[in-house]
Structure formats: structure tokens, C-alpha cells
Chain A
Amino acid sequence: MLRVKNVSKTFDGKRMVLKDASLDIQKGDFVSIMGASGSGKSTLLTIMGGIDKPTLGEVYLEGRCISNLPERELAILRRTKIGFVFQFFNLAPYLNVEENILLPIILDRKKAKDYKDKVAEIMEYLKIMPFRDTLPTKLSGGEQQRVAIAKGLITEPQIILLDEPTGNLDSASAEDIMHLLVKINTERHTTIVQVTHDEHNAAFASKIFHIKDGQIENNEHNT
């Protein structure tokens, strides 16, 4: 479903942040990309999601190369086929929970009222219905990440990419979010790719890729 082929990345033309990285992700996979800070894992994720472009190599989503798409097409890709959840920059501060979830729909020029039931269903599913009219600033970190995941799910993307989704949470909230991701993966068959430096959280995935100094060292199947 998502194929990274010989991708290298440098920002300054000297130091390679990613070196000839390749990996394949199948539909329905729950993948963790693990590595220390500065290992290149977030760069790999952003390249996989079309947020950044590789210096060398290609990225294929459902067989289509997305590495050199213009910014406008990448934006359309992000709101239709890929859901994103970051450690930060997830929720618009002046919109309530429901409006935040609807944001990708509005940007896709669709009518919000047509998605009313779907939003309610996702909010129920992620147990955030009581916060429907609440502003993000009034929510805890874990609740905010649930809303961010809901926003990622509203367009029914084939894959959700998460960059340190629990990096800003306490251990109980992090555990809660990881169980939620497993639930989404198993019940909705949504492909999930997360990058993390936390071994415990990484262990929730079915596949784990280790990355060090920009190179993917190995991958392991987690049982």
C-alpha cells in the first residue's frame, strides 16, 4: 500500500538525515518506526505523508508516486487519503471539538451537515462526545489527541500517520491512546504508522522498524 524506495534526504546538502531508506507497508498494518531523537524517523514519516520531499528515491501510495507531486495535489492527498496526527499543531484553538473534526471536510468543500452523523459516530467511538462543544484548550492532552485522531478519521483515510502521538502525554493517557489506535486498526482496518522513541508504545504495533543515523536497520514482526 505504501512503499518507500531508496529514499535519502539532506537539508543542507552535506549531512544525510535519511540514507537509502526502503520499506513496504501493507494495508491494515500497524507499524511503529522507532529510533532515538535525531535518527531521522520524523523525516521519514513526513516524506511518507507527502509533507516533505525526498532528496533521492521515491514514495508510492497505492502504486502512485507521490514524491514529486505539487503542493496543491499533496494537500488534496492529505485531506482524502492520509490522516495526520502530530505531537503538536493538531487542533485549531478557536474551534470547538466538533468543528475541529469537521475541518478537513470544510477544506474539501463538502457540506458539514452531510457529515453530522458520521462526526457523532466517530465521537462516540472515540468517547469524546461529551466534549463536542468544548474548545481544545479546555481538554487534557489525551483528550486533545483523541480529537486529533477523530479529525484524522473523518475522511476515512486509508492510512493514518502519527508523529510521536503520545510524546506530550502522561503514561496513563499514552496507554489509553495506544489501545485506541489498536482498536481502530483492528476494527476499522485502517493502516497506522507511528514514529516513536518509546519502546513500550512501539510494542503495540504489528511491525516495528528501527532507524539509526538515517538508516533503517531492521524490522521485526511483533506478535
Chain B
Amino acid sequence: MNIILKHTFKSMRQNKAQIAMVVATVMVVVAMFFASLSMFDIFFNINAAEFVRLSADADMIVGAHYDGQFYSPEELDNVLEPFADNIVYKKSFIKTTGVLKTKSENVAILVEATNLEQYLDGAPLYGKYTQGELAYPKIVVNQRFAGENNLQLGQTVEVFLATCGDYKKFSIYAISDNIGIFASGSAINVLIDLDDAESQFGLINVTLLKFKDKSIFEQVEERLTNDDNMSSISVGEALNTTYSREIATNNTLLFAIALLFIVGMMVLILVTSYIIIVKSRLNEMLIFKTAGATPMQTTLIMLLEASLYAIFGAFLGLWVGRGGMALAERVLLANFTSAITYQWWKWVLAFVVGIIVTLASVLAPILKVSKQSIRQATSGTVKEVKFAKPAFLAVILLAIALVIFAMRSLSIFYAFAFSALLIVLIAIFIITSSSRVHLWVSKLISKVSPKGIIALSATTTKRNATAHNVSILVATVTAFSFMVVAIIDFINVVLTLAPSRYSSDYVVEYRYDKMPEQAELLSLERELAEHQGVDSAYLVASAGLEWKDTTGKYVGADKWVNLIGVSNVSNLQSVMAEPANIEYSPSFQGVQNPAICNIDIIKRFNLKLGDTLYFTIEEPDGSKRDYQHFVTIVGIDYTTTEYDKYIYTNLNILYDEQESLKPTTRYFVNAQPSAYLSLRTYLENKEELGKRAFIFKYERWLYASALGLG
């Protein structure tokens, strides 16, 4: 073996800690980069999988997948009559929320009713089927759902059907594998026959159409939207790839920003680690120099060493990235519409990027040492660290604040550009401030342990550049750790929707067509609270409407807010997950319609305590008009995430416009576990509620709500 190569291999045994850090850093860079190359596939499939599950290979959907408006199938046939020869299939569905009642609890479900025999002939389900006679109509559930709820073949279950407004008994006919209509890992759906849904007049709310020639799509769409009887029914692509692609692109861009931060921090870690490594290699390089090594040769020797770390780290990174993606596939998506692809170029690109990032990062410290003359390298002078002036640090901090502000205000594409600037500023701040922080820390520690290593490290000759490098490394690793936590949090938000802001044991959902009287709602709140084993019950009624923006700055979803009516805003914290995070204005008692806004609204709309908010109502036909009530901000809720916009106010103002607002009502109940079944019986037997109040365990309800089944 070449003597220099042999020496390099052997000298690598020194600096084990730094080398481990370099290899681990390269590994993370490559793993993240490799994952990012397939992240679009993940995001796209997450969004598209649900469409595919519901729409199979259909071209057009007439209606909506969740609780869409009902219509007559005969009316639809009339409209489609001119295209009859061009339709491969037409599948009619009723898709509506329901409640499956097991012995131990209620489960919110999506009831999908269709011509069961025809459907199963066309799309056979793999799984277990009953052979014997069934006591009740057939119901098909999926394997995961059956496992979670301990359901067996042939078992009788009760399902509340919104179509008939009552519970109905079914026998479990089949437990399907999680494929086809049961493909989505997140779906909690059951399949029944259309006739068993007992829909009035045979109305349906979803039809899937498959055309021989897809070019007729626009003609069909036009005819449906112009038809008097069908014009209010939504029509669209069955598999909305455009929508999925848009979401996936935005999420991927956000992920890329996160990745940019990680790589930026990683580069700083690599540079600092390598400064330490080359300093410890200085004696060896001096030996080579005195033996006649040119600067180029010493550079190549050290680059060779760095390349070995890069290759090893990149190799590990590829497998860590691939393993991470496999885990993500398994956890996030039970089945894929199109497999996530790992083409050869992704492996090569991630590997090459890892090597390039590493070598580019270590080049500066290596060149610095290589260019030094023997005399410079052996001069033995201790470099005193330079302290940045406080004014300079203040300017950098101000610049960071401005860039963050700009990133929050600008669109995602500009935010991407600004994030690079932010990384540079953060790096400058870490490099320039770490020596001062190091000095302060060591001074502080010197008061406790004056002769300790940390105390001495920032005094006299020990306050040198090496100590400064270690400070930068520690600061960078800390910043990186913080960033990783923030990014994991971000990915959680992207993938698992907004976390709940409430805290309770159970949720009672009250489903109605017309909002009951306020006294009735409040009476139920009292009754629930007084039930045996119940500690508290809290009424929450919510409706969506738009913030009346006079600036014209906000459009679309940015203006959309949830107005939540509660019996008393002053004790809102009793139901919140983080009650201490609510800040009340001291003078809110006399305010007409007091409102507590979450911090997202405050920031987004640039609001403050005491401001008055006005709203716009959007009618079903798309027209807009002013909402007759206004609210005044008396408090801020800091607990909510930035992905939702909520305003809490008094319940009564939701009544006047309930026809347009269609508020939903639920009660958060804190109770002993033993109270659950007696509460369920109580709600079922209370005639005034008309069997339309259901109690769910909180986590189950939260999950169903996230899927639009709440």
C-alpha cells in the first residue's frame, strides 16, 4: 500500500470524536437529500391516495366524497343521456358520515353505500368472507378497522345512518384486505348496499363516471352545470391530480427550505469539525512539509482523508435515507397509487452531493493549513480570539429579524430565496457571537469552579482560536439540534394535520338539520355536567365565515375563519389543552361580543386587543353579504397552531344567521371511564335529541375529525 495512504488510514484513528461527527453529518446530509428527492412522491401519494381510494379509475365525480348534496339518479341519467354510448360505467354511491356502535364504544365512520353485488363483481375484494346465513343486511369492513374494533365475521353491529336518521343492524359479511376502496391507511369506512342505506326517494350523493373517450369530459361538465336540477351539484375530476400536485409541490418546497437550513448548519458543523481535525494534524503535515511536500501534496493528503469520511458517511446516508423512506411509506401510506420511485440517478445524485458538500466544506480549513509555511505553522503563537462589537451583533440580530419577517410576509417562492440569506446570517451570528458567549459562560462558571477547565478556557492564553472553534461547533450543533426538532415538528404538522387545542376525555357530537334553541343546547350542557361520573362539560358550536378584509391584502383561504360560540368565554381555559396560554384583556367584562382570537389570526391580520372584527357570509350560491354581528378582541389564545384560525365568542350571535352558517355543535366532557356507557345510553334514550347525539372517546373523535368525519 502507498506509504501516504497507509499513514492516512492509521492517523485517522486519532480524533475519533470529530471523525464520528463528520461521518454522522455527511450521513444526515445524504439521507435528507436522498429523502428529499422522493419527498414529492410521498406528498403526492398522501393526497392522491384518498382520491384513488374513493374514485378508483373513474374520470368524473358528480357530487362530493364526504356528505355531498343529494340528488336523484334519474335526473342525472337524463342529463347524461346524450353521452350514454360513451360511458364505460356509472357507479352510484351514498357517502355520508355515520356512527358504528360496538359493545364498548361509538366510532365515527364514513358509510359508503353502493350496489354491493355489482360493485364486488367489478372489483373483487380480497379477504375473509362469511359462508353462513346472515341475520341482517351485509356490511363490509376492512382488516385494520376490524382489528382495532375487535370485529368478527358474522358479528352483528349497529350503524347510525344519516340517510334514515336511525340506528340499523348489519351483519359483517366480509373483512377485506386494505385494498381497493379500503386502501387508504387513514380511511375508517364501511361498505353497505345502496338499498340498505334507506335513502329517501332513492337519492344518492356521488356518482363515478368512466368515459370511453375522456375528451367528452368538458361537454358533460357543461351540460351538468347548465341543468336546472343538477347545477348545484359539484362536478370534477375523479382523481384530482392537479390539486394533489399543487399541495405536493408546496409541501416539497417547504421541505426544501427545511433541508436548506439543515444543510447550511451541516456545512458549518463540517467546517468547524475540520478546523479542529486539521489543527490536530498540523504536526504530521509539518513532517511531510519538511520532507519536501508541496502545498498541493499536503492538500491532497488531507482531502484524501476527508474523501474517505465523505464516502463512508454518504454510503451510510443512502441506506439511512432509504430506510427512513421505507418507514415513512409503511407508516403514512398503506397503499400507493404509484410506487415511490428510487431510480438509480437519485442514489447517485445524493451520493455525489454528499461528497461535494463535504469536500467543499473542508476545503477552506485544509487550504489554510496547507498554504502555511513551516515557519508559520511552528511559530507557536497562540491566536487570541477577536470579539465582535456588540453593535455588530445587534445589527446581525436585526437583519435576522427582518429576514424572518420578510419570509413570513412573502409567498413561499420568495421565502425560499430569503431562507438562504437567513442561513448565512445565522452562521455569521453563531461565528461572531460564540466567543462572547464562551467568555460569559466561563466567567460565570469560574465563580463556582475557578480552576475548572471551562473556567480557564476563556482566560489568558487559553482564550485562543481553538477554544473559539469548539464554541462555534457547540453552538452549531445546538442550533442544528433545535432545527431538527423544529423540522420534525413541521413534518408532523404537514403530515398529521393541526394538533388539537382542546383537552377532554370524551366528545358529544350533536348532529342536527336546524340548530336547536340556545336554551336547549345550554340545558344539555348542564345535564351532561351533572351526569354521574362527569367532572365537567363544555359546549362549543362552530361555523365558518370570512373575515371582512378592507385592505384587499388577504384572499381565499387566508380570510377564512372559524367562529366558535361558547356559553362563556371567560372560562374558555377550562377546556383548552394549554389553558395558561390564554391572555385576557382586563377590561373585557362590559364588551358586547367579546372574542378571543388565536395567535395566528392576530399575526396574520395584524390585530391587537380591543380591535373590532367584521365578517362576510358566503351563501351556498357563492354570493356574499355582510354578517350582522361584529366581535371585539378581548383575549389571545397562544396555544393554537398557525395552521388554523379561530375566534371564540358568545354562542348567541351564531343563531341569527344559522341558515347560512350551519353551525355544528359538540360538548367536551371530562368524566370517569365508567361514565362513558351510561352517557351513551342516556343520549340514545333522550327523546328530544332524536338519537342525533353521539359520544366518542376524545382521541377517536380527533382522528375522525381530521379525516372530515367529525
Is A91 close to B, CB under 8 A?
yes
A-B contact pairs, 15 of them (CB 8 A): A51-B375, A71-B295, A75-B294, A75-B295, A84-B290, A92-B7, A93-B284, A94-B11, A95-B6, A99-B7, A103-B3, A104-B292, A106-B3, A106-B4, A107-B288
Known contacts: A95-B6, A104-B292, A106-B2. The answer to whether A89 contacts B375 by CB under 8 A is no
Is B257 close to A, CB under 8 A?
no
Chain A residues, Cβ within 8 Å of B286? 89
B288 CB to closest chain A CB, in angstroms? 7
B9 CB to closest chain A CB, in angstroms? 8
Name the residue in A80, A92, A99 with the highest tally of chain B Cβ atoms < 10 Å from its Cβ.
A92
Is A120 close to B, CB under 8 A?
no
Known contacts: A46-B374, A51-B374, A107-B297. The answer to whether A79 contacts B3 by CB under 8 A is no
Given the complex of chains A and B, what is the CA–CA distance between A151 and B373 in angstroms? 20
Structural contact, B3 and A89, CB atoms closer than 8 A = no
Known contacts: A91-B287, A107-B288. The answer to whether A75 contacts B293 by CB under 8 A is yes
Structural contact, A102 and B292, CB atoms closer than 8 A = no
Known contacts: A52-B373, A71-B373, A106-B2. The answer to whether A89 contacts B294 by CB under 8 A is no
Given the complex of chains A and B, what is the CA–CA distance between A155 and B293 in angstroms? 14
User: Which of A46, A78, A89, A112 sits near B292, CB closer than 8 Å?
Assistant: A78
Given the complex of chains A and B, what is the CA–CA distance between A76 and B378 in angstroms? 20
Structural contact, B283 and A89, CB atoms closer than 8 A = yes
Chain B residues, Cβ within 8 Å of A206? none
Structural contact, A51 and B3, CB atoms closer than 8 A = no
Name the residue in B284, B291, B294, B375 with the highest tally of chain A Cβ atoms < 10 Å from its Cβ.
B291
Given the complex of chains A and B, what is the CA–CA distance between A52 and B375 in angstroms? 6
Structural contact, B371 and A71, CB atoms closer than 8 A = yes
Is B10 close to A, CB under 8 A?
yes
Q: Give B270-307 interface residues, CB cut-off 8 Å to A.
A: 283-284, 286-297
Structural contact, A99 and B3, CB atoms closer than 8 A = yes
B466 CB to closest chain A CB, in angstroms? 19
A101 CB to closest chain B CB, in angstroms? 10
Structural contact, B287 and A72, CB atoms closer than 8 A = no
Given the complex of chains A and B, what is the CA–CA distance between A107 and B297 in angstroms? 8
Is A90 close to B, CB under 8 A?
yes
Q: Give B333-386 interface residues, CB cut-off 8 Å to A.
A: 371, 373-375, 378-379
Structural contact, A102 and B375, CB atoms closer than 8 A = no
CB closest residue in chain A, given B381: A11
Is A204 close to B, CB under 8 A?
no
User: Which of A78, A89, A108 sits near B378, CB closer than 8 Å?
Assistant: A89
Structural contact, A79 and B374, CB atoms closer than 8 A = no
Q: How many residues of A contact B (CB 8 A)?
A: 31
Q: Is the interface of B mostly helix, strand, loop or mixed?
A: helix
B641 CB to closest chain A CB, in angstroms? 56
Is A86 close to B, CB under 8 A?
yes
Structural contact, A102 and B293, CB atoms closer than 8 A = no
Q: Give B36-57 interface residues, CB cut-off 8 Å to A.
A: none
Given the complex of chains A and B, what is the CA–CA distance between A71 and B294 in angstroms? 7
Given the complex of chains A and B, what is the CA–CA distance between A106 and B283 in angstroms? 19
User: Which of B283, B284, B291, B295 sits near A107, CB closer than 8 Å?
Assistant: B291
Structural contact, A80 and B292, CB atoms closer than 8 A = yes
Given the complex of chains A and B, what is the CA–CA distance between A52 and B296 in angstroms? 18
Structural contact, A151 and B291, CB atoms closer than 8 A = yes
Structural contact, B6 and A99, CB atoms closer than 8 A = yes
Chain B residues, Cβ within 8 Å of A112? 3
User: Which of B7, B289, B293 sits near A95, CB closer than 8 Å?
Assistant: B7
Q: Give A63-90 interface residues, CB cut-off 8 Å to B.
A: 71-72, 75-76, 78-80, 84, 86, 89-90
Q: Mark B1-32, 1 if CB is under 8 A from A, else 0.
A: 01110110011000000000000000000000
Q: A93-B284, A155-B292 are in contact. List 5 more A-B contacts (CB 8 A).
A: A52-B373, A78-B292, A79-B291, A79-B292, A80-B292
Structural contact, B374 and A103, CB atoms closer than 8 A = no
Q: Give B392-419 interface residues, CB cut-off 8 Å to A.
A: none
Given the complex of chains A and B, what is the CA–CA distance between A78 and B289 in angstroms? 9
Structural contact, A94 and B10, CB atoms closer than 8 A = yes
- Complex A-B, nearest 8 residue pairs according to Cβ-Cβ distance, in ascending order: A79-B292, A94-B10, A52-B375, A75-B294, A51-B374, A103-B291, A78-B292, A89-B286
Enumerate chain A interface residues (CB-CB to B < 8 A).
11, 46, 51-53, 71-72, 75-76, 78-80, 84, 86, 89-95, 99, 102-104, 106-108, 112, 151, 155
A91 CB to closest chain B CB, in angstroms? 7
Chain A residues, Cβ within 8 Å of B295? 71-72, 75
Structural contact, A107 and B292, CB atoms closer than 8 A = yes
Known contacts: A71-B295, A72-B296. The answer to whether A103 contacts B288 by CB under 8 A is yes
Given the complex of chains A and B, what is the CA–CA distance between A155 and B7 in angstroms? 21
Structural contact, A90 and B7, CB atoms closer than 8 A = no
Structural contact, B294 and A90, CB atoms closer than 8 A = no
Given the complex of chains A and B, what is the CA–CA distance between A84 and B375 in angstroms? 13
Given the complex of chains A and B, what is the CA–CA distance between A155 and B292 in angstroms? 11
Chain B residues, Cβ within 8 Å of A103? 3, 287-288, 291
Chain B residues, Cβ within 8 Å of A79? 291-293
B8 CB to closest chain A CB, in angstroms? 9
Chain A residues, Cβ within 8 Å of B292? 75-76, 78-80, 104, 107-108, 155
Known contacts: A51-B373, A71-B371, A112-B3. The answer to whether A89 contacts B290 by CB under 8 A is yes
Chain A residues, Cβ within 8 Å of B2? 106
CB closest residue in chain A, given B284: A92
CB closest residue in chain B, given A102: B3
Chain A residues, Cβ within 8 Å of B3? 95, 99, 102-103, 106, 112
Chain A residues, Cβ within 8 Å of B283? 89
User: Which of A72, A95, A104 sits near B294, CB closer than 8 Å?
Assistant: A72
CB closest residue in chain B, given A95: B7
A184 CB to closest chain B CB, in angstroms? 18
Given the complex of chains A and B, what is the CA–CA distance between A151 and B283 in angstroms? 17
Chain B residues, Cβ within 8 Å of A104? 291-292
A28 CB to closest chain B CB, in angstroms? 23
CB closest residue in chain A, given B377: A89
Given the complex of chains A and B, what is the CA–CA distance between A215 and B284 in angstroms? 33
Structural contact, B293 and A107, CB atoms closer than 8 A = yes
Given the complex of chains A and B, what is the CA–CA distance between A84 and B7 in angstroms? 21
Given the complex of chains A and B, what is the CA–CA distance between A104 and B11 in angstroms? 19
B79 CB to closest chain A CB, in angstroms? 84
Given the complex of chains A and B, what is the CA–CA distance between A75 and B299 in angstroms? 14
B248 CB to closest chain A CB, in angstroms? 52
Chain B residues, Cβ within 8 Å of A93? 11, 284
B560 CB to closest chain A CB, in angstroms? 67
Known contacts: A51-B375, A52-B375, A71-B371. The answer to whether A90 contacts B290 by CB under 8 A is yes
CB closest residue in chain B, given A151: B291
Given the complex of chains A and B, what is the CA–CA distance between A102 and B1 in angstroms? 14
B379 CB to closest chain A CB, in angstroms? 8
A140 CB to closest chain B CB, in angstroms? 19
Chain B residues, Cβ within 8 Å of A53? 373
Chain B residues, Cβ within 8 Å of A46? 374-375
CB closest residue in chain B, given A109: B297
Chain B residues, Cβ within 8 Å of A84? 290
Chain B residues, Cβ within 8 Å of A51? 290, 373-375
Chain A residues, Cβ within 8 Å of B378? 89
Structural contact, A92 and B287, CB atoms closer than 8 A = yes
Chain B residues, Cβ within 8 Å of A108? 292
Given the complex of chains A and B, what is the CA–CA distance between A153 and B290 in angstroms? 13
CB closest residue in chain A, given B2: A106
